[in-house]
Amino acid sequence: MPFQPYKIVGRFADWKRLGTLVLLFVVLGCSAEFAATGSESAALSIVTTNRSTENSPERFHSNSPTLDDADLRILFIGNSHTLGHDLDGLVADLIRFRRPNSKAATESIMVGFLEQAETTPATVKRLTKVKWDKVVLQAQKISASARTEYSTAEGIAFARRAIKSGAKVHFFAEWGIQGDAKNAAHTDGVYRKMATEAEAALIPVTRVWTRVLAESPDLALYSEDGNHQSRLGASLTALTIAAFLLEESPEVFADFPDPVATPAEWATFVKAATAEWESQRDAAAPESK
């Protein structure tokens, strides 16, 4: 049976279930400058969503045996940049396309800032309760102006905890503020340093977005607030995450029938993601003697 992408309507229906919590974290969780006012002290709320790529796109509860039977378990932890547009579900779509016989499951936990993952017992317990294959971390507190340096120790500690539990950890470096190249570079640099210190991997979403916008600056990757991604931007983010999680060139997704991007837009996405993939691969390769 040929691959059928999930309907956008279904994704937005799932998103609506997050209700007030999503609105809260859009305000509190994604503005690093606002973090300086003390919003990081807000009580942590965790929203878990699960999705299986086996047979049905429907989400399932955390205690579902489908999660137990999955052969690829991916845990996402982040703020509304991670939870928005059902990002984990979009990644699952791509994995299902690439590996139709795989029983992959994703789960997302919302935090205001990444430090809360390490300091909240419920999050730590969830990490250790399930044998995760991959853990994707986002929501590091970052100053929009780069004037303030926030602690990265907690996020690094949580990454090391996840690695110790047997998972491969990937830091997800988000795209930065629209029109601010310095912010994008700073964001990428913060996550890159964290990944190095934690001995984890980096998913360079920031750099892929930069490549795409350099070639096609009119593409509406951002939402109206200039901070969050649009649904089109989520397609680019999901493509990048899926490729780096599977450790395969984004070219393998060239024929993916994305429900939002036009064929030309998707080709631009694949081209940019592949260029960054090759750049990362070449940088990691040992020098020949």
Comparing 54 with 264, the larger pLDDT belongs to: 264
Residue type, 176: G
Q: Is the pLDDT of residue 34 over 70?
A: no
HEC sequence for 182-205: HHHHHHHHHHHHHHHHHCCEEECH
Question: What interhelical angle do 205-215 and 263-284 show, nearest 10?
Answer: 130
> Quick one: pLDDT at residue 25?
39
Lowest mean pLDDT among 23-37, 240-254, 269-283: 23-37
Global pTM reads: 0.81
Of the candidates 278, 283, 269, 272, the residue with the CA atom closest to the CA atom of residue 249 = 278
Residue 180, C-beta contacts closer than 8 angstroms, at least 6 positions apart: 144
CB-based contact 1:116 (threshold 8 Å)? no
Lowest mean pLDDT among 25-39, 219-233, 250-264: 25-39
Confidence of residue 132 (pLDDT cuts 50, 70, 90): very high
> Quick one: pLDDT at residue 284?
78
pLDDT tens digits for 159-185? 999 999 999 999 999 999 999 999 999
User: Is the sign of the CA dihedral 181, 182, 183, 186 positive or negative?
Assistant: positive
> Quick one: pLDDT at residue 68?
79
Mean pLDDT value of segment 58-80: 70
Confidence of residue 287 (pLDDT cuts 50, 70, 90): low
| DSSP output for the chain | ----PPPHHHHHHHHHTTHHHHHHHHHHSS-HHHHTTTGGGSPP---EEEEE-SS---B--TT-HHHHH-SEEEEEEESHHHHGGGHHHHHHHHHHHH-TT--EEEEEEE-SSTHHHHH-HHHHHHHHHS--SEEEE------TTS-S----HHHHHHHHHHHHTTPEEEEE----STT-HHHHHHHHHHHHHHHHHHT-EEE-HHHHHHHHHHH-TTS--B-TTSSSB-HHHHHHHHHHHHHHHHTS-GGGGTT---SSS-HHHHHHHHHHHHHHHHHHHHHHSPPP-
> Quick one: pLDDT at residue 69?
83
Burial class (CB in 10 A: 0-12, 13-18, 19+), 252: middle
> Quick one: pLDDT at residue 255?
97
Of the candidates 23, 191, 39, the residue with the CA atom closest to the CA atom of residue 110 = 23
> Quick one: pLDDT at residue 226?
96
Residue type, 16: K
Tell me the C-alpha distance between 88 and 136, whole Å. 10
A 10 A CB-CB count for 157 gives 15
What are the residue ranges spanned by the domains of the chain? 8-206
Q: Is the pLDDT of residue 250 over 80?
A: yes
Tell me the C-alpha distance between 193 and 152, whole Å. 9
Residue 147, C-beta contacts closer than 8 angstroms, at least 6 positions apart: none
Mean pLDDT value of segment 52-64: 35
Is 8-206 a CATH 3.40.50.2300 domain? yes
CB-based contact 73:135 (threshold 8 Å)? no
> Quick one: pLDDT at residue 23?
37
